[in-house]
Amino acid sequence: MQQRKVMKSVTARPATDGAGVSINRLSGFSSMMRMDPFLMLDEIKSDNPDDFIAGFPPHPHRGFETVTYMRKGSFSHKDSMGNEGSISSGGAQWMTAGSGVIHSEMPVAGADAMHGFQFWLNLPARDKMQQPQYLDLEKDDITRVDYQGASIRLIAGELELAGDTITGPVTGKTTQPLLADVELPAQGSLNLAYPDPISSQFYVYQGAVEVAGETVPAGHLAWLGEGQHLTLEAANDSGLLLFGGKPLNEPVAHYGPYVMNTQQEIEQAIRDYQQGKLVRDPVVTLSAVNRDQ
């Protein structure tokens, strides 16, 4: 069976977003860095509250999904229609902005450290104007497997490990997203298989990870080539986010918080927001039992 190899890698760049939150950003909007169907990855990692306490005050989204995963710390979220909740250590939120959402994401009062990630995941053209939805996942909702000193927390999709298929709480989406937090002990290795032929990348947030002789250090995003199998090795304690999905291969028009297929659709989104028409449908909040939403 063909092993996946690292085709290229890039370093996360320091940036700020929201009301001045310090982040490490990896964007895939350019054709050279396309992570289709994923669009962008941001990491928040700091022990200094000044780096994140200002949070992300109310802002709009249309045309894609945001996936937030917290390894440490807590964020509360609210939207313009009165929905609210929180994402705590080990938990995640899957928000389908669809036709339009205005929401805020703010650190919980008293937070003194934060380590989390947000992905932007594209929607196919036919789904961009669907009804918005939230799926909140508590720590215990996420599939966890421990194997020979390694740990896998599978948020979305499927992986094969030692002949068994493990499945995350999020499945059934058009883009077939895979999202897993993988921790490896010193001198540890892990052999994984992909049940479906999807594109795949990984981001190293701790230590360094070797794939087919190529070492990827912390703070780097790596694109993987085709193949059914992936072998991860680590000389020291290491951690990475493994993700991927079925490429949409559709035109991407992007402006700020909007991701559509054409410039005309972007201009319409801006007009709708300015005229108070962006939010049209009630936002549906799903529980972790609704796994095929």
First to last CA, the chain: 32
State the total domains in the chain: 1
Task: Write out the residue range of the structural domain in which residue 152 sits.
Answer: 14-248
Is 229 inside a domain boundary? Answer: yes
Is 5 inside a domain boundary? Answer: no
Is 255 inside a domain boundary? Answer: no
Is 290 inside a domain boundary? Answer: no
pTM of the model: 0.93
**Nearest partner of 125 among 216, 240, 253, 293, judged by Cα:** 253
Is 232 inside a domain boundary? Answer: yes
Is 257 inside a domain boundary? Answer: no
**Cα 194-184-216 angle, rounded to 5 deg:** 75
Residues 260-282: tens digit of each pLDDT: 999 999 999 999 999 999 997 77
Cβ 230 vs Cβ 194: under 8 Å: yes
Is 225 inside a domain boundary? Answer: yes
> What pLDDT shows up at residue 289?
42
Distance CA 215, CA 93 (A): 31
> What pLDDT shows up at residue 283?
72
> What pLDDT shows up at residue 111?
78
Residues 46-72: tens digit of each pLDDT: 898 889 988 899 999 999 999 999 999
Cβ 98 vs Cβ 121: under 8 Å: no
Is 263 inside a domain boundary? Answer: no
CATH of the domain at 93: 2.60.120.10
Cβ 22 vs Cβ 51: under 8 Å: yes
What are the residues whose beta carbons fall under 8 Å from the beta carbon of 231, sequence distance 6 or more? 3, 189, 190, 191, 192, 211, 212
> What pLDDT shows up at residue 291?
38
Cβ 239 vs Cβ 181: under 8 Å: yes
Residues of the chain with pLDDT under 70: 31-32, 285-293
